[in-house]
Amino acid sequence: MRIMCLNGWGGKLLGGLLPYVAASAPGVLCLQEVVHSPETAKDWLSYRDGEHVLLQRANFFRDVCSALPDHVATFCPAAQGVLWDDDIPIPSQWGLATFVHRSYPVIGQVQGFVHKGYSPAGYGDHPRSRSAHGVRVYDYENRRAVTITHMHGLRDLHGKMDTPERKEQAHRLLDMSQGLSEADDLRVICGDFNVEPDSDTLELLRTSGMVELVTGHGFTGTRSSQYTKHGKFADYLLISEESAVVDFQVIYEPEVSDHCPLMLWL
């Protein structure tokens, strides 16, 4: 089984992302920063937050579904706000999505919030609502159930430091993973956590028995050259049994986002 975790950056680099995802065709894809704007047929819209303007693929979720026709897709919105077509506001949902190849039966799942709750009338004030999703699948090749839970950690305008809100979201994420799992399951927790390697978030997950693979395997960051700010860590993947890892890589090429895909082989 191959598991990929990726912050898709709202599909900004769609021309490279879709062929890469289609060619990789992981057993499970955990995708963050997913845009879903079902009321428009436009290809591209603009996100505006003060001086911050970012091009967004209007129906990024639909595009990835088309690239992975043999996967079962679940979209988990955190909020519905507005994207812009010139001066026309377009309702748009934002969140994360999970894609599971049809050869892996989904035998359980959990969806919820690690920070705040669903925001139906705007993206809200920072730090904004954040959702999480977990699936429990049966891996016939390895003859066991695997639970994969991912989140997009909250963004704090002051940085990636530890905060009470981040500590609470880590507890919620861990509770979701543990609640979904049964005793003999292999557990994976991943996502764009928006924290540093020495954070309380990762310490909590390690203390629970999870092994963190990004820094554990010596990778020096998870951001592509598209990201020009300081701090090259954001994305992490943890596993309950390191002996189950066949390989793990942070994929630096091709660049498909301002984040790098994380790929785990079991």
Question: Cα separation of 147 and 180, whole Å?
Answer: 7
Question: Cα separation of 32 and 78, whole Å?
Answer: 11
Both structure tokens of 41: 């047929």
The predicted structure's pLDDT at residue 29 = 98
Question: Cα separation of 106 and 73, whole Å?
Answer: 11
Both structure tokens of 177: 């993973």
Question: Cα separation of 50 and 173, whole Å?
Answer: 30
Domains: count for the chain = 1
Q: How many C-beta atoms lie closer than 10 Å to residue 259's C-beta?
A: 23
pTM: 0.97
What does the longest C-alpha to C-alpha distance in the chain come to? 54
- Cα 106 to chain center, whole Å? 18
What domain range includes position 190? 2-265
What values do phi and psi take at 118, rounded to 5? Answer: -60, 135
CATH number, domain of 68, equals 3.60.10.10
Residue corresponding to tokens 């092994």: 211
pLDDT tens-digit profile, the chain (266 residues): 999 999 999 999 999 999 999 999 999 999 999 999 999 999 999 999 888 899 999 999 999 999 999 999 999 999 999 999 999 999 999 999 999 999 999 999 999 999 999 999 999 999 999 999 999 999 999 999 999 999 999 999 999 999 999 999 999 999 999 999 999 999 999 999 999 999 999 999 999 999 999 999 999 999 999 999 888 999 999 999 999 999 999 999 999 999 999 999 99
